[in-house]
Amino acid sequence: MAGPRIALFGANGQLGSDISTLAAQRGLDLVPVTRAQLDASDPTPSFDGLAFDVAINCVAVTRVDDCEKDPAPAVAINAHFAGRLARACAARGARLVQVSTDYVYGGQAQREPLSEEIGRAPVNVYGATKALGEDLARLEHDDVIVARVASLFGVAGASGKGGNFVETMLRLGQERGRLTVVADQMMSPTGSWDAGEAILDLIAAEAPAGDYHVVNSGAASWWDFAARIIERAGIAAEVAPIPTSDFPTPARRPPYSALSNAKLSTAIGRSTPHWTDALDRYLRAKGRI
Ligand SMILES: NC(=O)C1=CN([C@@H]2O[C@H](COP(=O)(O)OP(=O)(O)OC[C@H]3O[C@@H](n4cnc5c(N)ncnc54)[C@H](OP(=O)(O)O)[C@@H]3O)[C@@H](O)[C@H]2O)C=CC1
Ligand SMILES: Cc1cn([C@H]2C[C@H](O)[C@@H](COP(=O)(O)OP(=O)(O)O[C@H]3O[C@@H](C)C(=O)[C@@H](O)[C@H]3O)O2)c(=O)[nH]c1=O
């Protein structure tokens, strides 16, 4: 076993399961922590018996519309648990990698890839609770890396969502033959495998504490993303672009949350693959191409 001992909270999730696999491949000393061992909604969670040098927090409530309808679980898990874990890290002198989201943005005017310098402006409860989680973690501890990932797709699928956008598009494309997808929301599609690689690289590089946009290269609208998924999987379905006003949802989505990953590239000494490359690897892993 090499390097620091890493405790991975949310180890069974979409991102967590890829990080577990990657850590095993790299021969890292990783301790998976799952819901069965620790309930993140507990106001007094016990971290007793857990020894680690770095914690990665992949725990979250990820159903964006549910957060809007009932904020309480997201406030407890996305926000307060991050603060509680940060306090436990501070007590141990351990670094915290707090996984966050592009949905901390959305209210800003800028329409070019956002750097870490721009102010956060969430437009929904999920994003607001993730932003609060970042803040509470930093209040409790100096040594926090906030790793903002986005629009994740990984082979396990998000356990909270019961899948991911790629699987939804593949299913709807086969069932309906015609999809309508919003073309006026720009973001950074990101394979959870590549996000996991970059997070482990940040840890290995002992990158300075602070915020990092941990995303694949390139930006896309959800329509661009859907059209590419359907085309690469060879599904005979039309993908029609629509405005957000034609797809009402309980929670607003950011009109623009494409992220610049230049700071990440500098920190880990490489750029991340383009999202189309990550999508091809995902579809291959799923036996779709
Ligand atoms: N999915 C996405 O598109 C994006 C996700 N993110 C962020 O990435 C991170 C990982 O998300 P992802 O892997 O996709 O999502 P998942 O829903 O797959 O993972 C969430 C994890 O949180 C765990 N969890 C939820 N509630 C509790 C609880 N009460 N106690 C203990 N564990 C709990 C889940 O456990 P269990 O497996 O037992 O349910 C799961 O392991 C999160 O921080 C999320 O906010 C950011 C941008 C995009
Ligand atoms: C299924 C579907 C969705 N859409 C729209 C709705 C929405 O605006 C957009 C994205 O859809 P979803 O609801 O699947 O995505 P959403 O749950 O908003 O995804 C977000 O999840 C959280 C956890 C994050 O942190 C974000 O980075 C982001 O990945 O696509 C269509 O236009 N047509 C469709 O058929």
Bridge partners of 97? 56, 145
Q: Catalytic one among 126, 212, 256, 282?
A: 126
Q: Is 16 in the pocket of ligand 1 (CB under 6 A)?
A: yes
Angle at 82 between CA 137 and CA 48, to 5 degrees: 105
Asked whether 196 and 147 are in contact (CB, 8 A), the reply is no
Per-block average pLDDT, block size 10, for the chain (289 residues)?
90 98 98 97 96 98 98 98 98 98 98 98 98 99 99 97 98 96 98 98 98 98 98 98 98 98 98 98 97
pLDDT for 22: 98
Q: Is 137 in the pocket of ligand 1 (CB under 6 A)?
A: no
pLDDT for 1: 62
CATH architecture assigned to 2-162+190-215+260-266 = 3-Layer(aba) Sandwich (3.40)
**How far apart (Å, rounded) are the C-alpha atoms in residues 215 and 202?**
13
Angstrom distances, CA of residue 225 to CA of 134, 142, 230, 287:
28, 37, 9, 19
**How far apart (Å, rounded) are the C-alpha atoms in residues 166 and 154?**
9
pLDDT for 2: 67
Structural element, H or E, at residue 85: helix 81-92
Nearest C-alpha to atom 28 of ligand 1 is from which residue? 40
Q: Which of 147, 188, 199, 189 is nearest to 165 (CA)?
A: 189
Nearest C-alpha to atom 34 of ligand 2 is from which residue? 181
* Entry field: residues in the chain: 289
pLDDT for 129: 99
Closest ligand 1 atom to 151 CA: 3
Nearest C-alpha to atom 4 of ligand 2 is from which residue? 181
What is the ipTM score, two decimals? 0.99
Instruction: For residue 126, indicate whether it is catalytic.
Output: yes
Q: Is 17 in the pocket of ligand 1 (CB under 6 A)?
A: no
Q: Which ligand is nearest to the CA of 152?
A: 1
Reduced to 3 states (helix: H, G, I; strand: E, B; else coil), residue 165 is: helix
Per-residue tokens: 189: 């599609």
Residue of 21, 50, 58, 104 to test ligand 1 pocket, by largest number of atoms within 8 Å of CB: 58
Domain ranges of the chain: 2-162+190-215+260-266
> Whose structure tokens read 């973690």?
137
- For ligand 2, residues with CB inside 6 Å are 62, 64, 101-103, 150-152, 165, 168, 172, 179-182, 185, 222, 247, 249, 253
